[in-house]
A and B are shown apart, each in its own frame.
Chain A
Amino acid sequence: MISVKNLRKSFHGTEVLKGISAEIQRGDVVCIIGPSGSGKSTFLRCLNRLETPDSGEILLDGVDLMDRHTDLDRQRRKMGMVFQQFNLFPHMTILKNLTVSPMMLKKIPQKEAEAKAIQLLERVGLADRAGDYPAQLSGGQKQRVAIVRALCMEPEVMLFDEPTSALDPEMVGEVLEVMKELAHEGMTMVVVTHEMGFAREVGSRVVFMDQGKILEQNTPEALFSNPQHPRLQDFLSKVL
């Protein structure tokens, strides 16, 4: 469903992505791990073209995202993104956060959009907070709302950039739980994470990135129990 070939990206002359290639199939849960600064976020942000790659190929369901004539705004609706810092809209209620894009971009009537939003909120246990503003929620609650906001656009793939890294430890679980459910329902997911437990348990594939390259990828069992590349061995010895 997503096919990436030889993706390159530099910031001010420093190459951050040095030729990344990857295939993501429908229903995959791809977890990306690697040391800080290795280019994980940059790669993820290139996938939905928040970042413009210098060269390479990105196909989403056969649509070329590097083509200047591709309507990127339309393609982005198929890819939900969840940020480390939540990035909820602070001037809107939770309900408005969830309905603004479906109503504006998909022309879904307000009633219908709200019904869908409430239904999704119920699933993450936050239906009673629909009228609140983001500032009134805890970090974990904000991130669950952020996930729901992306889901309201009915995306085909969800991109997560360290969704639990900004959370207090006791709130990490509730967010991972929601992501786990999502994976079990068959959502295609690309997750940049430092949560090795999650990668091991939920991931269908784990990708190890270092210094702008994918050095190793495998099923979680194989990658964690039998790492090949010395740098992956070194990395795992530090984080596990």
Chain B
Amino acid sequence: MTLFDSIAQFFADWGAKLASTFLEKQRYLMLVDGLRNTLIITLGALVIGVIIGAFIAIIKYCGEGSRVMKPLCLLCDLYTTVIRGIPVVVVLLIFYFLILRSSDGVVVGIVTFGINSGAYMAELIRGGINAVDGGQMEAGRSLGMSRFQATVHVVLPQAMKNILPAIGNEMIALLKETAVAGYVAVQDLTRAGNLIRNNTYDAFNPLMVVALTYLFLVILLTWALGKFERRLAKSDKR
């Protein structure tokens, strides 16, 4: 047998293996479903995270030095401290087994990852806001705007340039983070790969397909984000 023959044989075997792993019983559909769930959880959590994060960031920024807002600010601090101090898998389990019992796994996933990323998002958004020159707030206040008005009309629009790319990065992190959703019986991309492995005793191919899918998505998102950032930078020069 020549070298060429053995290489050809290798690929033929691999092809047969791929076919039996993914095509038999249409197992590839599990991956498609898994990918769909992964994307749904990521996007849902992103939306919830942005809303929670923006809310906290604005409360903390507007509340700086205000006695009335103090309890709210402390509540926000508590939230970020607790969430950032607990592994997301544990939070996921707490929500699945204790708080949102009998809810659909995907819903639990969206809520958990949303609440989790909200704590990080709050810091991102706050960082973006704090990066805006303090003179901007002062100029707004000197014209008679309230702290809230100056925040919304003067500071936030400028902070967006810092915040949007950071949210993009958070989305990429979130996409990978959701891989632990399988812990609460959600059939996400990772778990779909696991199921196929259990059914076929083929560990290599399902894991590779799962890994390459994540990799491809991350590369795609990174590329889109880079393009978006370059456009933001361009509008900066005007």
Give min CB distance, A52 to chain B, whole Å: 9
Most chain B CB neighbours (cut-off 10 Å) among A91, A100, A133, A135:
A91
B74 close to chain A: CB less than 8 A: no
Give min CB distance, B69 to chain A, whole Å: 15
Check B141–A101 contact: CB distance below 8 A: no
Check B158–A90 contact: CB distance below 8 A: yes
Residues on the A chain within 8 Å of B103, using CB: none
Number of B interface residues in the complex (CB < 8 A): 19
Check A100–B153 contact: CB distance below 8 A: yes
Q: In the complex the two chains form, what is the Cα distance from A85 to B137 in whole Å?
A: 13
Give min CB distance, B134 to chain A, whole Å: 9
Check B138–A83 contact: CB distance below 8 A: yes
Interface string of A101-112 (1 = CB under 8 A from B): 100110000000
B167 close to chain A: CB less than 8 A: no
Q: Which of B122-167 contact A (CB under 8 A)?
A: 133, 135-136, 138-146, 149, 153-154, 157-158
Residues on the A chain within 8 Å of B140, using CB: 89
Pick from B135, B144, B237, B238: contact of A85, CB under 8 Å: B135
By beta carbon, the residue of chain B nearest A159 is B142
Q: In the complex the two chains form, what is the Cα distance from A90 to B237 in whole Å?
A: 10
Check A135–B142 contact: CB distance below 8 A: no
Residues on the B chain within 8 Å of A90, using CB: 158
Check A101–B136 contact: CB distance below 8 A: no
By beta carbon, the residue of chain B nearest A93 is B238
Give min CB distance, B123 to chain A, whole Å: 23
Check B238–A133 contact: CB distance below 8 A: yes
Check B145–A48 contact: CB distance below 8 A: no
Pick from A73, A81, A89: contact of B136, CB under 8 Å: A89
Check A104–B154 contact: CB distance below 8 A: no
Check A48–B136 contact: CB distance below 8 A: no
Q: In the complex the two chains form, what is the Cα distance from A89 to B124 in whole Å?
A: 23
Check A80–B142 contact: CB distance below 8 A: yes
Pick from A50, A73, A133, A149: contact of B145, CB under 8 Å: A73
Check A105–B138 contact: CB distance below 8 A: no
Pick from A77, A80, A104: contact of B149, CB under 8 Å: A104
Pick from B139, B145, B154, B237: contact of A105, CB under 8 Å: B145
Most chain A CB neighbours (cut-off 10 Å) among B136, B143, B149:
B143
Check A91–B157 contact: CB distance below 8 A: yes
By beta carbon, the residue of chain B nearest A106 is B144
Give min CB distance, B237 to chain A, whole Å: 7
Pick from A73, A83, A85: contact of B146, CB under 8 Å: A73
Residues on the B chain within 8 Å of A6, using CB: none
Q: In the complex the two chains form, what is the Cα distance from A135 to B142 in whole Å?
A: 21
A104 with B238, Cβ < 8 A, contacts A87-B136, A91-B158, A150-B143 known: no
Give min CB distance, B41 to chain A, whole Å: 34
The residues of B with any CB-CB pair to A shorter than 8 Å are 133, 135-136, 138-146, 149, 153-154, 157-158, 237-238
**What are 15 inter-chain pairs, A to B, with CB distance below 8 A?**
A50-B138, A73-B141, A73-B144, A80-B142, A83-B139, A83-B142, A85-B133, A88-B139, A89-B136, A90-B158, A104-B145, A135-B237, A149-B143, A150-B142, A153-B144
